[in-house]
């Protein structure tokens, strides 16, 4: 885990990948839990969320993340919002924004706000900070798709591993959390993975088996420099396999925006 205070970013540039332990959002089918006298069946919960996370031909996920790092003499907080949507074969949307604080004071963000939309024919990139946009050159489209695939992989990394890691999950409690003003009753489970020394806690919505929150905590002894910290990711929007509004993949230049670096056929 690493926190920086500045990053030079030019208008309409390649998006800088956010620094995070893991990003996770998933939805599972409605299943019947085998309720015991003490706690729900952890195996049934994990199987439910794992199955549908594998069907990613059409989805939309919104994540809001808060990352906190304590290095002793400096404390940093990064807040970000990411929205990613895909509809095969060639429609996608990726947008992000973030802010930084160092010792309670505003600091330069990791990267400028950005929006990328593939409408099925063309790919568009927008830089809201300078109110500019461009049509991506055909030679750059493979790179853009790699960014989108990388973001998708971050989102679905742990769900793809859950079924093989059932023995490392523990049911903790039931708890209600509020996201975007909506209360959600959740199962809370702890997951321990060999390649993630951090403590990982997941909040799984009871009715639809949506993972609504993930918290990763890095305590003393994990980081060689003695730094501690946490990442809390909330998922107010998780739609995997459901209908998506057509407008989500339509790019409309914002009022007064300037088109730059016009692509040639």
CA distance 184 to 205: 6
Helix (H) or strand (E) run with residue 5 in it: none
DSSP state of 200: E
Residue 112 forms part of a structural domain: yes
Predicted confidence band of residue 16 (pLDDT cuts 50, 70, 90): very low
Question: Given pLDDT bands bounded at 50, 70 and 90, which one contains residue 79?
Answer: very high
Is residue 61 assigned to a domain?
yes
Neighbours of 88 (CB within 10 A): 9
The mean pLDDT of the chain is: 79
CATH number reported for the structural domain that contains residue 108 in this entry: 2.50.20
Q: What is the dihedral of CA 21, 26, 30, 36, to 10 degrees?
A: 0
Q: Does residue 15 lie in a domain region?
A: no
Check pLDDT > 90 for residue 24: no
Instruction: Using the structure block, give the residue that is written with the tokens 């002793």.
Output: 72
Q: Decide which of 155 and 211 is more confident.
A: 211
Secondary structure (3-state) at 24: strand
| Global pTM exceeds 0.75 | yes
Domain boundaries, position 174: 42-242
Rounded Cα distance, 119 and 10, in Å: 25
- Classify residue 164 by burial, with Cβ atoms within 10 Å: 0-12, 13-18, 19+: exposed
Whether the CB-CB separation of 107 and 100 falls below 8 Å is answered with yes
Strand bridging mode 105-107 / 114-119:
unpaired
Decide: helix, strand or coil at residue 84: strand
- 3 has a pLDDT exceeding 50: no
**pLDDT exceeds 70 at position 138:** yes
**Residue 251 falls within a domain, yes or no?**
no
pLDDT of residue 157: 75
Q: Give domain status of residue 37, yes or no.
A: no
Overall domain count for the chain:
1
The answer as to whether 116 is a domain residue is: yes
Q: What would the pLDDT profile of 38-72 be if each residue is shown by its tens digit?
A: 668 888 888 888 876 777 889 999 999 999 988 88
Asked whether residue 253 is assigned to any structural domain, the reply reads no
**Residue 114 is assigned to a structural domain of this protein:** yes
pLDDT value, residue 263: 47
Inform me whether the pLDDT recorded for 156 exceeds 90: no
């Amino acid at each position: 885990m690493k926190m920086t205070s500045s990053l030079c970013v030019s208008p309409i540039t390649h998006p800088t990948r956010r620094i995070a332990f893991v990003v996770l959002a998933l939805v599972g089918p409605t299943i019947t839990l085998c309720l015991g006298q003490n706690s729900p069946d952890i195996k049934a919960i994990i199987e439910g969320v794992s199955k549908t996370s594998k069907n990613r031909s059409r989805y939309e996920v919104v994540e809001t993340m808060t990352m906190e790092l304590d290095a002793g003499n400096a404390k940093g907080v990064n807040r970000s919002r990411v929205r990613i949507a895909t509809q095969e074969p060639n429609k996608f949307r990726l947008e992000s924004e973030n802010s930084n604080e160092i010792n309670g004071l505003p600091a330069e963000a990791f990267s400028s706000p950005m929006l990328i939309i593939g409408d099925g024919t063309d790919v568009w990139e927008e830089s809201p900070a300078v109110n500019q946009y461009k049509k991506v050159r055909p030679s750059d489209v493979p790179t853009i798709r790699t960014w989108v695939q990388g973001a998708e992989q971050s989102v679905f990394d742990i769900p793809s591993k859950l079924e093989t890691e059932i023995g490392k999950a523990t049911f903790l409690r039931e708890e209600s959390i509020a996201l975007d003003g909506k209360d959600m009753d959740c199962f809370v489970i702890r997951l321990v993975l060999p390649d993630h020394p951090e403590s990982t806690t997941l909040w799984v919505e009871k009715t639809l088996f949506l993972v609504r929150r993930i918290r990763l905590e890095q305590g003393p002894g994990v980081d060689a420099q003695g730094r501690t910290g946490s990442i809390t990711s909330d998922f107010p929007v998780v739609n995997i396999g459901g209908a998506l509004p057509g407008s989500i993949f339509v790019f409309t230049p914002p009022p007064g925006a300037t088109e730059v670096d016009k692509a040639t056929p």
